[in-house]
Amino acid sequence: MPEKGSIRISVAGTTDVGQVREHNEDNLLVVDLAAGERLGSGDTLSRELGGKGLLVAVADGMGGAASGELASEMAVDSVHDCASAGPIGEESEIDAVAVALTDCVTEANTRIFDKSQAESEHRGMGTTMTAAWGFGNQIAIAQVGDSRAYLLRKGKLVQVTKDQSLIEQLIQDGTLTEEEAERLGGRNIILQALGVEEGVDVETKTMEVLDGDLFVLCSDGLSGMVKDEAIEAAVADVTDPATELGPACAKLIQLANEGGGRDNITVILARFEGEGLRAPMQPLSAEEGAPAAPAFAAPEVPQAKTPRTKPAICAIGALVVAIVSFFLLTGSDGDVTFRFPAEGAAGELIEVDEVGQPVSGGRTFTLAPPEGEKAALVESVPDGRYRLTARHEKYATLTVDYEIDGGGEIDVEMLPLPGTVTLVPALARVTVKVHRKPAKESDVPWSNEVKFEAAKPRVLDKVPAGDLEITVSRPSFVSKTITAVLPPKGEATIELPELEPITGKLEVSGGAPGMEVRIADDWGEVVWSATMPEAGGLEARVRVGEHFLSATHEKFEAHEDEVKIVEGETFLLRIPAIEKRGMLLVTGPADGRVTVTGTGGSKWEKRQKIPAEGKIRFEHVPPGKYEVRCELPDRPAAHEIVTVEAAREASVEFAK
């Protein structure tokens, strides 16, 4: 939760195509989340920091002009959309902000990867991203690739991110020195980018913001062309950030272009100041002839009795905040026990400075629990600031900082990697909601809703591991909820339950014995069917809803009707029994006059002259016996008795 007291922010951002490239594949994001205001390149902003904070990001696209520009644009837009719609509010904690930022960057990776897989012309596109979320007197910084974030504090510029590049890795491994790497070049051979693979490890950290802090975010088009000392000199003299940050951005763009401008150049400057921030650490002075003093001295503030944690490097859309309970012991050096969530986890503990950079010549400890155990004991750890990196094949890599004072015990809460769930429905047209039950209050809720048009299995990827609650529902049916457990990076096949229909009462009368009566819903699925008995009608329990009824019989006219079944009520329906009619074909001499008369009480009668072709057909004749007479002027009348049956044709032939 942000500290009380006003904090003023001043921000400016600029992007430039450079001197060599034809297209600008960089993109930037500067947005005041409280006001919902997003700045463009060349714009500036100066105001009090709102409750939801300030979000800035730099993205350097790759994959050709169209694809690289698209990837970086998707990255900044996705992070903006995700952060704006997320749960962060004025009462949130910085750890929750860090988790939200990590999740937003991970979501951007998923969107870019999915588009590159779906559209062949963008296959292989990707982008770096460095994003910072200023929230009260804290800031969360997320890193993927080799775009950078710097901090200028009391005139000293320090890089606060670590390049995810081949050269940087060789430096960290001790294969190259900084001087050798500078002569070799090649820092743009990045080891990780958004959109290239389905999963991504986002390196995220948090740090306190002090009064007067200036953060510099830039693509390697600046850091690769301009030395850190020159960047420091260009921004160190800013006294009125509201008016000078824009020109300072322009100056940095100019320096990069003068240095060759071999890549697109993007830079964002963000200055924080105000009574809501504590005073910065003061520079130390060295006595004459003594070694140079360090840039900063620790501020005189009470030492916290709990570790200051920083968020995990999350992977594959992870939604978590690293919460560590660390019970301190009294004294100076002491033993520290790390308890991991699963066997096979291990890690490394290294000493870092105030801005999270490894201390040259500092202490490093390897954490390797004995086989079959979850705890690793590190003996006699000197007091200081340390960074733990914990790894496990089924858990996301965790990075978190501690202020160790006298030893103690640490529960390392690593995020289990998501798995795959296969849902097997027993019924078509169901809606299935999968909900991951939070293991603790700080967990970010997760749920997914899937609609099944057919009763066919569906696979869900990237489902967070843990206790799952699955609810199956369909209109006119009673919903059911079941539970399942998805292990870390595991697979689960879940047979969904049958649903019981909600019913009302139907009573059918009339019709004719043997008549087939059936009711279907608007999808054509038969809800109920039966045959009319010899006596009486039909009674049944039928699923609620508005349905279509059809009654058919070979000797009776078909009947269709609408029925509305309501729970707890009875729907009454009477079906008419109308016999189907037949046909009568009469063949005889042309100009003969034919008379058809019903016998046995039937009053149906027709009279018609036979046409020239010698045939006449009477349709819609009620079933029964008929006398058919044919009269001609020059001969005696002829007659026949014929029976007409339902839905059949009878015939009579007279001599011509």
Q: Per-residue DSSP letters for 59-121?
A: EEEESSHHHHHHHHHHHHHHHHHHHHHSS--TT--HHHHHHHHHHHHHHHHHHHHHHHHH-GG
> Reduced to 3 states, what is the DSSP secondary structure of residue 565?
strand
Q: Once rounded to an integer, what is the mean pLDDT over residues 103-110? A: 95
The conformation of residue 348, written as its DSSP 8-state character, comes to E
**The pLDDT value given to residue 358:** 86
Using one digit for the tens of pLDDT, what is the confidence trace for 627-649?
999 998 888 899 999 999 988 99
Reduced to 3 DSSP states, what percent helix, strand and coil does the chain have, rounded to the nearest 5? 15, 45, 40
Q: Once rounded to an integer, what is the mean pLDDT over residues 3-14? A: 87
Longest dimension (CA), the chain: 152
For residue 484, give the nearest of 497, 475, 473, 501 by alpha carbon: 497
- pLDDT band at 322; cut points 50, 70, 90: very low
Residue 623 has pLDDT above 80, yes or no: yes
The conformation of residue 29, written as its DSSP 8-state character, comes to E
Q: Mean pLDDT score of the chain, rounded to an integer?
A: 86
Give CA angle at 534 (530, 536), nearest 5°. Answer: 80
Please say whether the dihedral angle defined by the alpha carbons of residues 271, 194, 347 and 364, taken in this order, is positive or negative.
negative
CA distance linking residue 44 with residue 243, whole number of Å: 8
- pLDDT band at 179; cut points 50, 70, 90: low
CA distance linking residue 580 with residue 208, whole number of Å: 89
Using one digit for the tens of pLDDT, what is the confidence trace for 74-99?
999 999 999 998 889 888 899 999 99
Q: Once rounded to an integer, what is the mean pLDDT over residues 566-590? A: 92
Q: Once rounded to an integer, what is the mean pLDDT over residues 127-134? A: 96
Residue 288 has pLDDT above 50, yes or no: no
Cα distances (angstroms) measured from residue 486 to each of 70, 157, 314, 457, 640 = 36, 46, 19, 17, 83
Using one digit for the tens of pLDDT, what is the confidence trace for 524-565?
899 999 999 998 899 999 999 999 999 999 889 899 999 999
